[in-house]
Structure 1
Amino acid sequence: MTDQQPLHTPRSLIVTFYGAYGRGSADRPAGRPVPIAALIRLLGAVGVDSPSVRSAVSRLKRRGLLVAEPAPDGAAGYGLSAAARQLLDDGDRRVYGRPTRDTGWLLAVFSVPEEERHKRHLLRSRLSRLGFGAAAPGVWIAPAHVHDETRHTLERLELASYVDLFRGCHLGFEPTVEAVGRWWDLSALARQHRAFLTAHEPVLHRWARRRALPPQDAYRDYLLALDSWRRLPYADPGLPAGLLPGDWPGVRSAKVFAGLHARLRDAGARFVEGIVAPPRTSL
């Protein structure tokens, strides 16, 4: 049985859109609040209908990730909240960067009172989404380079008071490469990488043969690839290469995404800007 790429949900695609094109400088149209009519057109280009866009925007507003702001022309629009910007800025280091892959580890040791066990569930869920593996009950482990993002996440969710963070080396009796196999499900991670390659490596090959870069086509393929890719650096937090199988597919999937990013991102931005701030016609 092979894992499939997760479905592209409207809410995920909107977050991906803002991460890719909604944080420009103040003098760039794509960095301003996006009119809802433009957002509907932009999500329509990747197959999301208008009611689904409006519903997803409402949910993101309730979660405090989007805020209502008038667009430059006075139309109703939406921009990122400060918390959402911090979340996306932290994510950039995972999604677009290359981890140092040093041998240091970050330990999160937590204790949550029984009467607040719902916070225990939230804490475990968030640590897992940050790429931590479970080393023991109440002890989670991740590569040391996720430290800053972990601090920001725990502080934002008001969970920091339940957690102590430590940085160190593994000095156990079991070889580290074997311990890593207990802390993370490497087979499942490999399947996720292979699913990404199956879906998006042929797209990169097609674009490599094309000279022209039609902005709408580039935008569509880039947004879908980014929406698939941005989950992977969290499931796979960038473990040291020496602790991974020799045929680890994560190396290839990272190169495929980097190729799509370099080839398509800027061409897609031209499509976005043409919709968010179309050129004015003179009378």
Structure 2
Amino acid sequence: MNTVSGKEAESEPGPSGRVQPRQLIVTVYGLYARDTEGWMSVASLIQLLADLGVEGPTVRSSVSRLKRAGLLEAESVSGAAGYRISPETERILRDGDPRIFATRRATVDEGWVLVVFSVPESERAKRHTLRTQLTRLGFGSVSAGVWIAPGHVHDEAEDMLARHGLRSYADLFRADYLSVGGGTDGSGDLAAKVRSWWDTVRLQQLYIEFLAVHRPVAERIASGSPVTDREAFTTYIRVLTDWRRLVYLDPGVARELLPAEWSGTEASELFDELHARLAGPAHRHVERIRTG
């Protein structure tokens, strides 16, 4: 199963009611366009987005914005107008699939990866790119030029720096946290450090919102209420759009370092349940639209 990440995963997540049409389009393309070599007709896209309550003119406008951003490329196939996923988007999709569908949480003993960087003021655009990409990989800020993430993110960070031509501005280190205990201000408490490097309070609230929005439909399905393929599609797209944005904010640090009331685990279990129940019928609905 496929989805999308990267550029469209950077905006603030929240309940599906606040999702922008272009984010829904990205989810639809990420899930279903790779079944047809990355291409989808405009007609099919408009019909599918209509199921999600998005009108045709809004779809066309949003697709144009995605084209200008380099995510989609216009292409006609057998006389049908449509758009194909760009090569860069294809790479982002491929890299993002494991993060979406196989969320990994670090262990306390696996250590950390540090990125130490310095970008001249004259190249502030590169500084912005670097910070944006580090955030997308789940890094937290220790100080202005020192960012941190769980050790398993190392290979992704190396690849990102090389791909964006940023390797000369940054050094990567593998690290262990050695300062433990001591002090009444929590300076020796790694869990306290995690709370200062990432906004875990805000992330906890977002997980609570995800559960509040999407748990009722899981309960309804579990109770045996029938769900049509169309309903499965509209629900699955909204669930996945919300989820993919959340996991790009979650650094994936060890559970022991997170707040006691952490809701991320429950949210992950809910997503897995809805994915298992909805992905198949949602795909059937898309196929009927594309071949109808």
TM-score after normalising by structure 2: 0.86
Residues 99 and 145 in structure 1, CA contact (< 8 A), matched pair in contact too: no
Among 162, 168, 178, which residue is 2:169 paired with?
A: 162
Residues 218 and 265 in structure 1, CA contact (< 8 A), matched pair in contact too: yes
Distance 2:132 2:138 in 1: 10
Note if 1:245 corresponds to 2:264.
no
2:289 aligned residue: 275
Runs of 4+ in structure 1 off by over 4 angstroms are: none
Among 115, 121, 135, which residue is 1:114 paired with?
A: 121
1:54 aligned residue: 60
Gaps of 5+ in 1: 25-29, 279-283
Report SS of the residue matched to 2:261.
Answer: coil
Q: Deviations over 1:164-185 (max 9, x none)?
A: 2222222235232121111111
Residues 140 and 251 in structure 2, CA contact (< 8 A), matched pair in contact too: no
After alignment, is 120-129 or 53-62 more displaced? 120-129
Report SS of the residue matched to 1:116.
Answer: helix
Note if 1:37 corresponds to 2:43.
yes
1:27 aligned residue: none
Distance change (3 Å), C-alpha of 1:86 and 1:53: same
Residues 100 and 145 in structure 1, CA contact (< 8 A), matched pair in contact too: no
Q: Superposition RMSD on alpha carbons, in Å?
A: 1.9
Among 126, 132, 135, which residue is 1:128 paired with?
A: 135
Residues 67 and 81 in structure 1, CA contact (< 8 A), matched pair in contact too: yes
Distance 2:111 2:57 in 1: 47
Q: Deviations over 1:22-52 (max 9, x none)?
A: 222xxxxx55511001101111111111111
Measured after TM superposition, the shift of residue 93 of structure 1 is 1.4
Q: Quick one: which amino acid aligns to residue 5 of structure 1? A: P
Measured after TM superposition, the shift of residue 209 of structure 1 is 1.9
Distance 1:4 1:84 in 2: 23
Note if 1:192 corresponds to 2:197.
no
Distance change (3 Å), C-alpha of 1:58 and 1:125: same
Distance 2:63 2:159 in 1: 24
Residues 233 and 282 in structure 2, CA contact (< 8 A), matched pair in contact too: yes
Residues 71 and 88 in structure 2, CA contact (< 8 A), matched pair in contact too: yes
Distance change (3 Å), C-alpha of 1:75 and 1:120: same
Q: Quick one: which amino acid aligns to residue 61 of structure 2? A: S
Q: Deviations over 1:188-210 (max 9, x none)?
A: 11001001111111111112123
Alignment of 1:200-239 (within 5 A): 200-210=214-224, 212-239=226-253
Distance change (3 Å), C-alpha of 1:186 and 1:118: same
Among 50, 62, 79, which residue is 2:84 paired with?
A: 79
Q: Deviations over 1:2-32 (max 9, x none)?
A: x9526111111111112222222xxxxx555
Measured after TM superposition, the shift of residue 77 of structure 1 is 1.4
Distance 1:191 1:100 in 2: 19
After alignment, is 77-86 or 210-219 more displaced? 210-219
After alignment, is 143-152 or 195-204 more displaced? 143-152
After alignment, is 33-42 or 74-83 more displaced? 74-83
Report SS of the residue matched to 2:267.
Answer: helix
Distance 1:4 1:64 in 2: 25
Report SS of the residue matched to 1:109.
Answer: strand
Report SS of the residue matched to 1:22.
Answer: helix
1:66 aligned residue: 72
Gaps of 5+ in 2: 1-12, 181-187
1:97 aligned residue: 102
Q: Deviations over 1:234-280 (max 9, x none)?
A: 111211011112221000000111111000011100011111122xx
After alignment, is 203-212 or 224-233 more displaced? 203-212
> How many corresponding residue pairs?
270
Distance 2:168 2:21 in 1: 34
